[in-house]
Amino acid sequence: MMPHSHYLLHTPFLSSLSPSLTTHTPSLPLPRLQPKTLSYHLPSPTTFNSTTSHFKPLHFALSGALSLGVLFGGIGVAEAAKVGVNKPELLPKEFRTVIDVAGFLSDGQEKRLAAEIDALEADTGFKLRVLAQNYPDTPGLAVKDFWRVDDRTVVFVADPTFGNILNFNVGASVDLDIPRSFWSRLAGKYGNIFYWKEKGEDASIEAAVMAISNCLREPVGPNNCSEVN
């Protein structure tokens, strides 16, 4: 069995991305790659609800569909378990680390974020991937193969459907180095509805990418990622 991952997401499709990823959700349970906290739908996923500030297990059979449904849209848990969203036609024809199907980012912002992500991967080996969407307009689980998601990947889904716009699916290797509390603090600071309503979805996305990049660059230790910058 692959190791579980932890995420702070509301994204349903994430839990199905990879069995070694964890999902964290700020307000509602989302899909996970290989969740522990908030997961997508791989092995024994767990969902983290930043609204209730506690972890609760998500049934394996429902995690995949639930992740997709919850992460991508405002539907109930029961419905989310039945509805799967997978629209590979929304993916770009060429590889990109930042995919914006919601139109939150300008071309310049996409390029800046992509440059930061490329530098982060070159410096640390960790892969950050960003998907901006508005459920149900989402490529869904198709991003798993498109991005070759693995245990060193953080999938960041920006979707305002559930209020908190920041959702994360964290690979097992990343989860070993990053405190679980970091993702909930990040969502609480830059993902809350008051922040992105005032600053804009693009501001939340950019702030989150930079905070993740700073965190992943810090030396591993008892105090790493203690601040969300």
CATH number, residue 194: 3.10.310.50
229: in domain? no
| pLDDT tens digit sequence for 173-227 | 999 999 989 999 999 999 999 999 999 999 999 999 999 999 999 999 888 999 9
| pLDDT tens digit sequence for 124-145 | 999 999 999 998 899 999 999 9
59: in domain? yes
Output Rg (C-alpha) for the chain, integer angstroms: 15
225: in domain? no
With 0.85 as the threshold, say if the pTM is over it: no
Residues 6+ apart with CB under 8 A from 164: 10, 25, 26, 27, 50, 51, 187, 191, 192, 193
DSSP state of 162: G
- Full domain range(s) for residue 211: 5-217
Q: Is pLDDT larger for residue 103 or for residue 33?
A: 103
138: in domain? yes
Q: How many domains does the chain have?
A: 1
72: in domain? yes
